[in-house]
């Protein structure tokens, strides 16, 4: 495992804010030459600390203005069921996150759809692919904070 030092943290913070910046700009922000910065970034990628670089999009401008959290309960907990559930949710691009939960809830799904009809289509496709004992949904009325940046 790679030991993360202060310079690595600065690099990671800067990349989380803007992964498209040049190595020259990134190096200037963290106090390294372009080549030294490139080596650090490459090491962080090879160590699996940096897992990818993406563009952040405005979902509402792309017609995906409804965020839904689906609370899923199931009576099936066998490995085959989990494999089927995992494959089904991974295959649906509207689904942005799937989490196995502790407590009363088995799984929590976060999805982005255009509207209620879009949610209903997603729901119908999901229950057609995998048996679920109970699905309830909560719809986001106001997004107060949304980030993929990790705190450190």
* Crossing angle for the helix pair 6-17 and 23-30, to the nearest 10 degrees: 130
For residues 41 and 63, membership in a common domain is answered with no
What would the mean pLDDT of 6-33 be, rounded to a whole number? 96
Tally of domains within the chain: 2
* pLDDT exceeds cutoff 90 at 1: no
Residue 40 tokens read as 């650090």
pLDDT (tens digit per residue) in 89-113: 999 999 999 999 999 999 999 999 9
pTM score? 0.87
Q: Is residue 151 part of a domain?
A: no
For residues 68 and 40, membership in a common domain is answered with no
Kindly report the CATH number assigned to the domain that includes residue 92.
Answer: 3.30.70.920
Residue 98 tokens read as 């799937």
User: Quick one: pLDDT at residue 35?
Assistant: 96
């Amino acid at each position: 495992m790679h030991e993360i030092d202060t310079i690595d943290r600065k690099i990671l913070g800067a990349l989380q804010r803007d992964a498209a910046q040049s190595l020259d700009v990134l190096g200037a922000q963290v106090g390294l030459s372009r080549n030294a910065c490139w080596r650090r970034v490459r090491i962080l990628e090879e160590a699996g600390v940096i897992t990818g670089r993406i563009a952040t999009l405005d979902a509402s401008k792309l017609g995906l203005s409804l965020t839904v959290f689906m609370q899923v309960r199931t009576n099936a907990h066998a490995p085959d069921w989990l494999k089927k559930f995992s494959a089904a949710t991974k295959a649906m691009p509207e689904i942005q996150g799937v989490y196995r939960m502790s407590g009363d809830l088995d799984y929590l799904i976060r999805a982005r759809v255009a509207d209620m009809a879009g949610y209903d289509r997603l729901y119908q496709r999901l229950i057609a692919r995998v048996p679920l004992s109970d699905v309830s949904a909560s719809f986001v009325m106001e997004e107060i904070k949304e980030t993929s940046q990790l705190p450190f």
